[in-house]
A and B are shown apart, each in its own frame.
Chain A
Amino acid sequence: KQEVTQIPAALSVPEGENLVLNCSFTDSAIYNLQWFRQDPGKGLTSLLLIQSSQREQTSGRLNASLDKSSGRSTLYIAASQPGDSATYLCAPRRDSGGYQKVTFGTGTKLQVIP
């Protein structure tokens, strides 16, 4: 069974800082990993999807890296802004008996202080 851990559970930083969110997973037989953000009272918004054959994926101030063999992914946020305050979730995906299995971490709650 896939176990996904996100560290830290919560993070508070001043505006403008660069920061790294960590995600580790126990089953490295994944074919992609997706990062999401969740705002309070809202659904999940997709940020980045990184394929198992990729090492990095970038979108604006966000950069996700994947080290499949070690079961790790990081989300780097450059020049953080108050609008980045949200909970960030990682979700590795794998095949299991022909079905897609997606497991979510418990998230990192980020607060960016103006």
Chain B
Amino acid sequence: GAGVSQSPSNKVTEKGKDVELRCDPISGHTALYWYRQSLGQGLEFLIYFQGNSAPDKSGLPSDRFSAERTGGSVSTLTIQRTQQEDSAVYLCASSLVGRGLGNTIYFGEGSWLTVV
């Protein structure tokens, strides 16, 4: 696609429910990132996928968080048993891999999650 697409754009869920957030990266981009940004805070790294390599999960805050990337394209971030502190905007980004000038990182508009 033309840009990174995320859905849903907004999600309100009850505490304890599971949510799935979807990211559709730019076609051909092998690197995909998930970040979280709480209100008024900076970006918190969650997980990084690069091609067929094992993902870097070092940023996932708890075992309630998981992510997968199917077929090297679309990624889904799943939050189980949501808590109020999970309320944030979840940002997805993608890029080419390598050191050339073409590996600019592009972000989606984010999925705003509110846990009530």
Spell out A's residues near B (CB within 8 Å): 31-32, 34, 36, 42-46, 49, 51, 89, 91, 93, 98-100, 102-107
Contacts and interface: CB of A to CB of B under 8 A. Distances in A.
Contacts of B41: 106
Interface of B: 31, 33, 35, 41-43, 45, 48, 50, 53, 56, 91, 93, 95, 97, 99, 101, 103-110
* Among B95, B105, B108, B110: residue with most chain A CB under 10 A: B105
Contacts of B91: 43-44
A99 B101 contact: no
Contact of A104 (B31, B42, B99, B106): B42
Contacts of B105: 34, 46, 91, 93, 102
9 contacts: A31-B99, A32-B103, A49-B104, A51-B99, A89-B42, A100-B50, A100-B95, A102-B45, A106-B42
Given A99-B50, A107-B42, A43 B101 contact: no
Nearest to A100: B31
Contact of B108 (A31, A43, A103): A43
A63 B76 CA distance: 36
Given A36-B107, A43-B107, A43-B110, 13 more contacts: A32-B99, A34-B105, A42-B109, A43-B91, A46-B106, A46-B107, A51-B101, A91-B105, A98-B53, A99-B53, A102-B45, A104-B43, A106-B41
Nearest to A106: B42
A41 B83 CA distance: 22
Contacts of B56: 99
